[in-house]
Amino acid sequence: MIDQLDELKNQFTPDTARRILRLLRQLSRKKISDTDSLVRYHEILLFLRAYPQSSAIVHAAEGELRAFAERVSALEDSSPLEFPEVSGIAGTSVVDTFSFYIVRWLLQRHASQVALDWEWFEDENRLAETWPRFMPLLEEDTFVEANIPYREWLAAARKGRSELAWLMERFNELPKSDKERAELYDSQQLYVRWTFGFNASRTGMRLPTSRLFYHRKPLIQRRDVDLAKSLVQPVTLKKISERQGERALDMAREASTIRYRELYGFTHGDPKHVYHADLGRGVELFLVGVPREKRLPLRVYHAAIIYKNGVPIGYFEGLSLFERMESGFNLYYTFRDGETAWLYARTLNVMHHFTGVTAFSLDPYQIGYENEEGIESGAFWFYRKLAFRPTRRETLKLAEKEEQKIATRKGYRTSAASLRRLAESPMIFELDDARRGDWDRFQVRKIGFKSQRQKHTQFEAVLSLIPGWRGWGSGEKKLLSRIVRAKTGAEETTYLRLMQRHERLRREVIKLGS
């Protein structure tokens, strides 16, 4: 029955809808004791909830998902459900060395659901380096004794308070910057268990939405997507209130943390600058930047979380410099049978309009370099068929040979070995043909390597590497001054837009990074 449901989930006819409902009714009465089958059923239900054919299917899928914690509790061993590949199902928990910032946020939002997990803890020497800062006389033990009972020390100090809450309060009270507190806390490598509720689980997390989009026709395929045309379509971005921005960030953090992921932009997102876009077909996107104190020295950072009919289905990260954005797109595996290419094109459309970028580059990891999931999914061909090209000539030649084989040999498929070779090169899509190839050899870390001997602030270190910049014309220097000031302005996109107007600075930075 699960096989049949999997086959029917992306077929969209009235008869298919009736068959799906019948299968859901039958499965609701079945006990599923096999963990792999239960996970598979869970993912199909989530797909049906995100890509429904009717309100009846939404109702039936939601009913099954709400009962999922009971199915989990009936398993003899539910521990495989905590593995990162499938984590986040209702009735389970996640355990990890979450960062200082995420633990602090969890204690603010879900204090009763989080606790230290000592079974995973490995290195007590780490505690000897930090706990004496706020435990009087602990050094009497740590400096000279073996087998120190750290939990007894903690119990004596916290006096009934939660272990984790007490420790976090002590770190927050240290007379240090937030960054230094985070470094000290993270050095302990403490494991924290989060036993999340239904609404924070993958099973039950929903963005409130007043209207659902029902699919009654075939899904949009990759061959139907023209990326160049998609990028210039109009899109409306609306800035939301700080309170709404905080809620949007909370959901993004929950969606990431239950999957053992931490995105810089969600962890440090600025609730004062969150934007919402309705992309159509039941898809909503929330775009966020980071506050002044968390910005990168040169590039501009943005992150986005994407929802389909209220279900979180993926995220996007963008790192921009002039008109180029290094882009990372991840559609959660549950939804990769959906309209992936259309979703990707619509997301890049938002980024193009919001930031003014016209070139989107991909790190080799996104394509499959040291990433077997990318090889198995054929990520290279997904991007290649959207008109991305490898930036290395030898890789482009290999791609063109493979394309020739595909065109002339019926049933030909690129081998995994060839896909690994294709994944060694970055890829890029350029909307502006006049600037084609300008960024092919660029890496921002090359500038970083060159600046290590400079005794300047971040941006000054870059300028010191540009010969003769002090002799530039007054207009160029005035614009340069505005760029430097804009980096710490309210909206970091102002800095980016100003950069896009400084042709000379652009040429010099590309030269430095190439």
Q: What domains are there in the chain, each with its CATH number?
A: 2-90 (no CATH), 94-194 (no CATH), 214-363 (3.40.630), 370-425 (no CATH), 444-513 (no CATH)
Helix (H, G, I), strand (E, B) or coil at 150: helix
DSSP state of 434: G
DSSP state of 467: T
Q: Which residues of 180-191 are buried (b: 16+ CB within 10 A; e: fewer)?
A: ebbebbbebebb
Helix (H, G, I), strand (E, B) or coil at 483: helix
Least Cα distance to 379 among 19, 370, 259 occurs for: 370
Question: First CA to last CA across the chain, in angstroms?
Answer: 55
pLDDT attached to residue 456: 72
Averaged confidence pLDDT in the chain: 96
Q: What Å distances lie between residue 231 and 46, 318, 428, 500, CA to CA?
A: 29, 15, 14, 18
pLDDT attached to residue 2: 97
* 503/485 Cα distance (integer angstroms): 18
Q: Strand 274-280 and strand 311-321: pairing?
A: unpaired
* CB distance 317 to 306 below 8 Å: no
DSSP state of 466: S
Mean pLDDT of the 319-333 span: 97
Say whether pLDDT at 210 is over 90.
no
Least Cα distance to 302 among 339, 277, 283 occurs for: 277
Say whether pLDDT at 369 is over 90.
yes
For the chain, percent of residues with pLDDT exceeding 90: 94
Tokens of 306: 């994407």
Q: Give the CA dihedral 422, 509, 490, 488, nearest 10 degrees.
A: 120
* CB distance 5 to 27 below 8 Å: yes
Query: Any long-range contacts for 448-457 (C-beta under 8 Å, 24+ apart)?
Result: 450/512
Q: Strand 324-331 and strand 359-362: pairing?
A: parallel
**How sure is the predictor about 461, in pLDDT bands with cuts at 50, 70 and 90?**
confident
Question: For residue 291, how many other CB atoms are within 10 A of its CB?
Answer: 14
Q: Is the dihedral of CA 62, 110, 86, 381 positive or negative?
A: positive
104-145, pLDDT tens digit by residue? 999 999 999 999 999 988 888 889 989 999 999 999 998 988
378-411, pLDDT tens digit by residue? 999 999 999 999 999 999 999 999 999 999 999 9
Strand partners, 192: 96, 116
Find how far residue 491's CA is from the centre of its chain: 21
* 416/38 Cα distance (integer angstroms): 30
Say whether pLDDT at 429 is over 80.
yes
Tokens of 360: 């989107």
In sequence order, the 6+-apart residues with CB closer than 8 A to the CB of 64 are 24, 27, 28, 45
Helix (H, G, I), strand (E, B) or coil at 217: coil
Tokens of 80: 């495989």
186-206, pLDDT tens digit by residue? 999 999 999 999 999 999 999
Maximum distance among all Cα pairs of the chain, rounded to whole angstroms: 79
**How sure is the predictor about 452, in pLDDT bands with cuts at 50, 70 and 90?**
confident
Q: What Å distances lie between residue 246 and 98, 268, 488, 509, CA to CA?
A: 20, 11, 21, 36
* 52/210 Cα distance (integer angstroms): 15
Q: Is the dihedral of CA 485, 491, 492, 495 positive or negative?
A: negative
Total residues found in the chain within this entry? 514
* CB distance 195 to 93 below 8 Å: yes
Say whether pLDDT at 454 is over 80.
no
Say whether pLDDT at 47 is over 80.
yes
Mean pLDDT of the 411-434 span: 96
DSSP state of 311: E
- Residue 85: burial class (beta carbons within 10 Å; 0-12, 13-18, 19+): exposed
Q: Strand 114-116 and strand 192-194: pairing?
A: antiparallel
Q: Is the dihedral of CA 429, 432, 437, 442 positive or negative?
A: negative
